[in-house]
Amino acid sequence: MLRRIAPSLLCWLVLTCPAPAQDSPAHEPISGYAFMEPATRELQDDDFLNPAFFLVEEGLALWNADWPGASGQDRACRACHGAPESLRGVAARYPVSDPESGGMVNLELRINREIAEHLGAAPLPYESQELLALTALVGYQSRGMPMQLDLDETARAWAERGREIFETRRGQLNLSCRNCHQDHWGEKLRGDVISQGQVNAFPIFRLTWDEVGSRHRMFTWCMEAVRAEPHGYGSEAYLALETYLVLRGQGLPVETPGVRR
């Protein structure tokens, strides 16, 4: 019997027992910021050094610009909304339920709807520089505000669906989001300290990507890391996952635009 249980395994079990609030989904949410090296945090803290900050400026230019509408009439976001500060607090409560589709709509999809309906222009491709820029600009207006989901019936149902996705093992490596971001956060996965997988800083500049990416790009990255078939950007599965993750991280301050390893 003793021969079967490696002393190292016993030792490791004892050592890892007092680890973070493993089983309770109601653990205290901690921002990914807390798991970053000081040098990475400094990049986020200083708007002049933050490699994602140019997106906010680019977003502002798009906000003020006249978009050539299909009707031949030029329109700008500014024409209806005034200064971007008028959208303070919006990003903190997204995704929201959408009576039109009966589902959830996130910030990217909502911005695209504005572009189609009010500017009469073609929607921006998901993950395009322009859509990331407008998302960053709107997100930035909520910086420091706590994420807070409006938990109506639709949001509740989608968050539940998102939780199932989060907890379902997948891919050739057979791991769920939960396996890493709930059961083992704070532990080292090779060189990375695993965070709780919170979504309060998106769009983020990821040093690993050397680029800015959205929440949905991160979901795809993590799914591919376990060699699973990702879902599509803007898909119902990702909207459900996003809804659950905002609920799970409720209260965390918006850090947009964030910087991560």
Partner 1 sequence: MKGKSIRFASLVCAAWLSVVPGASAEGTHPPLTDQAGDPVRGREIVRDTSRASCLICHSISALPDRDHGELGPPLDGVGSIYTAAELRLRIMDARRILPDTIMPPYFATNDLYRVGARWEGQTIYSAQDVEDVVAFVMTLVD
Which residues are known catalytic residues? 222
User: What phi and psi, each to the nearest 5 degrees, are found at residue 211?
Assistant: -160, 170
Q: How far apart are CA 170 and CA 63, in angstroms?
A: 40
Choose from ligand HEC, partner 1, none: what does 85 bind? Cβ within 5-8 Å by kind. none
Report CA Rg, the chain.
20
Neighbours of 11 (CB within 10 A): 10
Least Å distance, CB 190 to partner 1, is 5
Minimum CB–partner distance for residue 48 and ligand HEC (Å): 21
Which one among 129, 148, 179, 250 touches partner 1, defined by CB under 8 A?
Answer: 179
CB of 79 to ligand HEC, least distance (A): 34
Work out which of 55, 104, 136, 222 binds ligand HEC, going by CB under 6 A: 222
Considering the rule CB under 6 A, would residue 162 count as an interface residue with ligand HEC?
no
Q: Is 128 in the site for partner 1 (CB under 8 A)?
A: no
Phi-psi map region of 124: left, alpha, beta (phi>0 left; psi -120 to 50 alpha): beta
CB-nearer residue toward partner 1: 6 or 83? 6
How does strand 188-189 pair with strand 67-68?
unpaired
Span near ligand HEC by CB under 6 A; candidates 14-22, 69-77, 139-147, 192-200 = 192-200
Provide the pairing of β-strand 103-105 with 188-189: unpaired
Please select the residue that binds ligand HEC; options are 84, 197, 203, 257, rule is CB under 6 A.
197
Distance CA 207, CA 255 (A): 16
CB 52 within 8 A of CB 257: yes
Residue 28 Cβ vs partner 1, minimum distance, rounded to whole Å: 15
- Judged by phi (left if over 0) then psi (alpha if -120 to 50, else beta), residue 190 lies in left
Which residues in this chain contact ligand HEC in the complex, by CB under 6 A? 6, 8-9, 32, 35, 175, 177, 179-181, 189, 192, 194-195, 197-199, 201, 204, 218-219, 222-223, 225-226, 241, 260
